[in-house]
Amino acid sequence: MSQADPMHDLIRTTLHQANHIALFSHIRPDGDAIGSLLGLGLCLQQAGKQVEMILRDGIPQNFRHLPGHEQIKSTPTSNADLWIILDASDPNRIGGLLDGRQPDINIDHHVTNLNYARINFIQPEAVATAAILAESIPLWQLPIPPAAAQALLTGILTDTIGFRTSNMTSDVLRLAANLMDMGADLPELYRRALSTRSYESAMYWGQALARLQRQGTLIWTSLTLQDRQVSGYNGNDDADLNNILSSIDSSEVSILFIEQKNGTVKVSWRAQPGWDVSALALEFGGGGHAPAAGADIPGTLSDVQTRVLQATMAWMQASNQKKQSTINHNQTLSGVK
């Protein structure tokens, strides 16, 4: 998009007219949620705006090295005149903080986004919401201080798993280079976000890896509430175990089931190129991207696991049959026996 694009004009005008801005992102925040929240928040503060940055679940320990993290609150403290949602495809992902209010701006890169705000700036082709912001913030005539550059690069790094996802482009690398020129320390951010793990995280992984299962090219495992107690892990996320599962050779789809305290199970699908698990997530009330999607499903761990595995196996079988039918059709057209 160019600076003259109507969407950029609208967002730029809206931001500059506001005085008090509240920024929200999704529950169980990942690096892109946190990087986007801090990145835009710190830029708006640099421009003289009063800003609240809100994450219902707070900020995980492994992102508390980012400047400005201490400003993030779990609930809004006052009535802002502009509400912005970042990196969340569904208003329910905010964790009940919207209280029925329609957000003013929704900035996201999930293909399953419901376009629920007054202004929806959705770019499914973007590698991360932080990448959309890093490209757009200068067009909105906002400064990017070094601390914001650190946050935005963290969002890009984590959602691309260190520039390794299939949607990576040379433009993203140039965007990262620009953020480095603005003060972001790529080697340190990479180490903090993708290389460093706590002892408790490793113990947590061990619980799930001990029960890893496979059927064909599908693999799956689970994390229980008891696993958190045994390992001493304090988070309610997967401690990046999904990245380990998706790297297992010969698997095309992986699923991680994470038992939650509220009687639901967080289900995360990961897939190799050529598979679109976002459709599966939508069936269960979730969403996401083609290679990575998730849903919060009510029920016991055993019940949810049974239902999701049955649906996933049936979907994979149907997808394989469709692919084979396409191959046979193409061979017939080309005269190949």
Task: Write the CATH number for 222.
Answer: 3.10.310.30
In this predicted model, what pLDDT tens digit does every residue of 107-124 receive, in sequence order?
999 999 999 999 999 999
Residue type, 28: R
Q: Is residue 334 part of a domain?
A: no
Whether residue 153 contacts residue 128, with contact meaning beta carbons closer than 8 Å, is answered with: no
What H or E segment, with its residue span, contains residue 11? helix 6-17
The partner residues of 259 in beta bridges, in order of sequence, read 265
Mean of pLDDT values over 159-187: 96
Per-chain mean pLDDT for the chain:
93
**SS3 assignment, position 247:** coil
> Is residue 139 over pLDDT 60?
yes
Is residue 332 in some structural domain? no
Confidence label for 77 from pLDDT (cuts 50, 70 and 90): confident
188 and 204 inside one domain: no
Residue range of the domain that includes 214: 200-325
In terms of Cα–Cα distance, which of 280, 300, 303, 299 is closest to 290? 280
Do residues 113 and 216 both lie within one domain?
no
Q: Is 1 among the domain residues? A: no
Mean pLDDT of 260-283: 93
Residue of 222, 42, 230, 51 lying closest to 133 (CA atoms): 42
Written in H, E and C, the secondary structure of 85-122 is EECCCCHHHHCCCCCCCCCCEEEECCCCCCCCCCEEEE
Query: Using 50, 70 and 90 to split pLDDT, how confident is the model at 237?
Result: confident
Quote the number of domains for the chain.
2
pLDDT at position 1 is 47
Same domain, 148 and 18: yes
CA dist., res. 113 & res. 136, Å (int): 19
Does residue 150 sit in the same domain as residue 225? no
Same domain, 170 and 257: no
Q: pLDDT at position 331, please?
A: 63
In the listed set 195, 226, 253, which residue is the last one of a domain according to the structure? 195
pLDDT of residue 231: 96
Would 42 be classed as within a structural domain? yes
81 and 204: one domain?
no
Q: Give the domain CATH number at 181.
A: 3.90.1640.10
pTM for this model (two decimals): 0.86
**What is the DSSP-derived secondary structure letter of residue 140?**
G
